[in-house]
Structure 1
């Protein structure tokens, strides 16, 4: 099954004959029907809310990668929405009773930052949130979010927050991004907004699916880089192509092929029930994919030169979006954490 030439063939990660692809196909047909997918934020959010939920982890990553191949910003909107709904499903499966409206669009705000702190307080059985939460993507546009807040100085707990509450103020910035410029990720200020606890303190980090979300983001990075491989292949077929053009394509192809193999294996292991080292496996997968994306960005820049960066709006936007998005991987700091885990715990493969 091939596309119209604007993005790579589908499927990308899951075999063509997989029965899990029906919902993915339906979601992608909906995406292709959205005018200005990713640039028209309202239309993109309406599509995200209507997306059928994939039935397996592999299909979810397939959907994220395929959407990112179409538009990276659209995948950046879809990924936390699906992650939030998956977390709520995990909570229900764990017997956590939740009295909340799960309709509408969702985000996940779990980042911390210097000078910003969101605290949770309980009074007569009602939880309220107070303070500032950084890096809240699309907070001014979403309906709800799952947010982490400090219960005390040592424990963080997850809460469902209605972003339409007048006690929640989404800041417009600072957001001077050239990539993902439409997906504003700025702080929110919360003044005693009522929130619904989702699990006990620490449950968010301990839950089995915590590692899965991080690799879902990596699937977006990988899918977002695939059209750059397509552009490199077109250049390598051109009349002026030489050995260097083919070498640039080959280097990107090998890196993305290896990253695909890692994503497929990771989805298989996690889908089978995972292992005690899911966190380390997820961190390794993210590192492999991030490296492949950065290799592909470099090879595309070297092979294609400045022309598509200044004359091809879609290519220039894709490169800028991908450069910002992949910085969710913290490079050497994440590698140092992997090294620490391997050094202290053995890090079995």
Structure 2
């Protein structure tokens, strides 16, 4: 795709059309997530940027009522902490003011979908990147190259997308959440290849056992993602919250097991001497924390208890 840095790869992928993925729920959701998995295996920062861009395009398609997407524009979804931005409607349209943290692709993205607090509730807006990142707000090691800095908005022109509450109320919100898990899965495959390519498994039964555990975990996660895609394609407008919670939990656990097993099997060597592997491990460790851990599991458990029939 050209270039060595994730931001360069992302820009090239947009220009080449490589990120023109099938929309979720359109009959090719498995293909969409397979593409995100492949990007995650290649480079997790690239996958993070690509996931935001492809999710933004899916959101715009689902909610509609917006101008055409500019050619070769690179989009992010900057929706953390909705109340950190305020939206005011004036004669010339909406304007946003405030500081939004966790904006992946703070410089490389040309446009973004952002949430903001408006007089009638939390709304989603499409904006051109104001290009005012706040220095020192992303001192990360893992996912460092994602440039997820805070971005400052100062009376920035914006266009409302949908109605108040539409961003989280639409079916596709949960489809996008599973797309993130597809990236996690790809990142875990990338980490696992260090063990697969090692010659230790031929002489060390403990390393072989860890490789077996990795194989089972990754296969199970892949099956869960594929099964979720089938459900979403069959019921694109259905409530996928439970499905997303289950799938994300399965993939997160598998990825965490891969990190643990590969580290125990190979020791400190690759983490200290293989820069690519060390970055994969650091990136995956941070990216997995986009999950809310036990809070997400608690929500899942409540859904299971209320259902009375989890169909295990």
Larger RCO (CA within 8 A; separation ≥ 6) = 2
Mind listing any 5+ residue stretches in structure 1 that lack a counterpart? Answer: 1-30
The verdict on how the C-alpha distance between 1:179 and 1:195 changes in structure 2, with shifts beyond 3 A counting, is same
Give 1:139's aligned residue: 106
Mind listing any 5+ residue stretches in structure 2 that lack a counterpart? Answer: 23-27
Alpha-carbon separation, structure 2, partners of 1:347 and 1:81: 37
- For normalisation by structure 1, the TM-score amounts to 0.81
Q: Helix, strand or coil for the counterpart of 2:67?
A: coil
**Which of 22, 39, 55 is matched with 1:83 structurally?**
55
Give 1:278's aligned residue: 240
Alignment of 1:154-165 (within 5 A): 155-163=121-129, 165=130
Give 1:109's aligned residue: 78
The verdict on how the C-alpha distance between 1:197 and 1:177 changes in structure 2, with shifts beyond 3 A counting, is same
Deviation (angstroms), 1:217: 0.7
Alpha-carbon separation, structure 2, partners of 1:256 and 1:86: 27
Alpha-carbon separation, structure 1, partners of 2:237 and 2:164: 23
Asked if residue 212 in structure 1 is aligned to residue 175 in structure 2, the reply is yes
Alignment of 1:113-262 (within 5 A): 117-124=84-91, 126-152=93-119, 155-163=121-129, 165=130, 169-235=132-198, 238-239=201-202, 241-262=203-224
Q: Helix, strand or coil for the counterpart of 1:171?
A: coil
- For normalisation by structure 2, the TM-score amounts to 0.90
Q: Helix, strand or coil for the counterpart of 1:176?
A: coil
The verdict on how the C-alpha distance between 1:273 and 1:64 changes in structure 2, with shifts beyond 3 A counting, is same
Alpha-carbon separation, structure 2, partners of 1:342 and 1:49: 43
| Aligned-pair Cα RMSD in Å | 2.0
Alpha-carbon separation, structure 2, partners of 1:140 and 1:228: 28
Number of residue pairs matched by the alignment: 304
Residue-by-residue CA offset, 1:219-272 (whole Å, 9 max, x unaligned): 011011113333223336655x22211111111111111111100000111112
- Verify the 8 A CA contact 1:37 1:71 in the aligned structure 2: no
| Runs of 4+ in structure 1 over 6 Å off | none
Alpha-carbon separation, structure 2, partners of 1:188 and 1:345: 41
- Verify the 8 A CA contact 1:120 1:149 in the aligned structure 2: yes
Residue-by-residue CA offset, 1:148-207 (whole Å, 9 max, x unaligned): 11114x8211100111x4xx6221332121111111212222111110000000111122
